[in-house]
Structure 1
Amino acid sequence: MSNEFVSTGDRTARRARFFARFAGDRRGSTALEFALLALPFAVLVFAILESCISFAGQEVMANITDDIARKLRTGQLRPADVAGDKLKTMICDRLEIIVSQDCPNQLDVDLREYTTFADAATATFKIDNGNIILMQGTNSQPFATTPGLAESKNMLRVFYKWPVMTDLLSQSMGGNKTLHFASVTWQNEPFDN
């Protein structure tokens, strides 16, 4: 008997038997389960790794910021030692252990003297189209490197645009960078100017 003359009922019965055999066959279930779980597992692993590396970078940057602030506070670093791009270079040299070689282009540093701690407390920043805008009250300010002399009050703020390495995470975040930020406020010790 050829397939041309098989009734519709026979075709339906054959199809039902085929799907029943397919559903009852457990030989490929492990491969199928692995295929279904491989992508979510890989995404989870990459997200964990990305978060750990980013956190380590943030902590290294915060430690460097604290160390440079301590050296400024005790007079080991003087205004001439951090003038121009010297401060940025000093930070990038120490961040080199964990960040890319494009550090100077991704790093923004603001070091300035304040008359009181209350003035320093009003210093904020906002992000506008990926750009960092420093604010003092309601006024915007440019980045500066103007440390004070002995017994002055100072604030060091360091911003690093950390690259997100995993494409899937950068797409979900709406960009390929996240901002790392560290800040230290202190009063210099009475060292010789």
Structure 2
Amino acid sequence: MPVIINGRERFMTTTHSVSAISRQLLRNRLLRQWKADDKGSTALEFSIVAIPFFMFILGFVGCAFYFFISNSLEKGMDQTSRLIRTGEAVTDKMTVNQFKQSICDGAGSWIDCNQLQIFVKSYPDGWAGLNSAKPQPCVQGGVVVTNTAPGTDLIAIYSGAASDVVIVTVCYKWNFTSKLPMIKLGNMADGSLMLQTATAFRSEPYPQS
């Protein structure tokens, strides 16, 4: 506030105004320090992208495993189905359980044979018989289709005779997808994924036993 000292006007600062100026200067100083402080910015930026990043990694791993398991099943199925095509399964009197186990062994030890179903069907009329045939389903109404054929039956009962067209279908319930957090790759109610692969061929004209 202005006062007259020795005929001259002077401005005197009160304690209250000094205090207000000091607080303002302190706030400005703290604000400048806060703006200049970039410690922890990397951690903050990573926390923003962490969830989508890990979801991408888990999805990538899940897809890689999917193709790996699918190729393993196809490998085991193709190798074992050749035994039917050449007539070895018939002459060796291979049973349904032995045929299934052979597919599991060819696919690899990472395949849980208890989760695998096989279906073998022959068509004596040749490829024309496939026109009215329906693909073998692995799931019906959300329920896994179970092969009720006795495991002790000879596979020849279902694979037909020489020169018949045969379709071998493999269904595998893959439980790995139910264990992936935040990623839904399964098509079953419990989160698992039903994998299906099939092959069709005409048996060679091998000698009938």
Give secondary structure in 1 for the equivalent of 2:85: helix
Q: What whole-Å deviation, never above 9, does each CA across 1:57-91 have from its counterpart, x for those lacking one?
A: 10111122112222211112217644232221111
Give secondary structure in 1 for the equivalent of 2:193: strand
Give secondary structure in 2 for the equivalent of 1:98: coil
Q: Are the aligned partners of 1:170 and 1:177 in contact in 2 as well (CA < 8 Å)?
A: no
What TM-score do the two structures reach when normalised by structure 1? Answer: 0.73
Aligned CA-pair RMSD = 3.1
Q: Read off the aligned partner of 1:190 and give its amino acid letter.
A: P
Give secondary structure in 1 for the equivalent of 2:100: helix
Q: Match of 2:144?
A: 131
Q: Are the aligned partners of 2:76 and 2:104 in contact in 1 as well (CA < 8 Å)?
A: no
Q: Match of 2:80?
A: 68
Name the CA distance, whole Å, in 1 between partners of 2:143 and 2:183.
Answer: 17
Instruction: Answer with 174-183 or 153-162: which moved more.
Output: 174-183
Q: Match of 2:52?
A: 40
Q: What whole-Å deviation, never above 9, does each CA across 1:12-54 have from its counterpart, x for those lacking one?
A: x96x987786465322211111122222212211111111011
Aligned with 2:180 (options 166, 182, 191):
166
Q: What whole-Å deviation, never above 9, does each CA across 1:136-167 have from its counterpart, x for those lacking one?
A: xxxxxx55551112111211000101121413
Q: Read off the aligned partner of 1:123 and give its amino acid letter.
A: K
Instruction: Answer with 110-119 or 52-61: which moved more.
Output: 110-119
Instruction: Answer with 41-50 or 116-125: which moved more.
Output: 116-125
Q: Read off the aligned partner of 1:162 and give its amino acid letter.
A: W
Name the CA distance, whole Å, in 1 between partners of 2:193 and 2:128.
Answer: 29
Point out the structure with max Rg over C-alpha: 2
Give the alignment of 1:174-185 within 5 angstroms. 175-185=190-200
Q: Which has the higher strand share?
A: 1
Q: Match of 1:90?
A: 102
Q: Are the aligned partners of 1:73 and 1:188 in contact in 2 as well (CA < 8 Å)?
A: yes
Consecutive aligned runs of 4 or more in structure 1 exceeding 6 Å deviation:
16-20
Gaps of 5+ in 1: 1-6, 134-141
Distance 1:181 1:23, change over 3 A: farther
Name the CA distance, whole Å, in 2 between partners of 1:57 and 1:66.
Answer: 14
Name the CA distance, whole Å, in 1 between partners of 2:204 and 2:40.
Answer: 72
Distance 1:63 1:84, change over 3 A: closer
Name the CA distance, whole Å, in 2 between partners of 1:172 and 1:19.
Answer: 52
Residue 119 of structure 1, CA deviation: 3.0
Instruction: Answer with 119-128 or 34-43: which moved more.
Output: 119-128
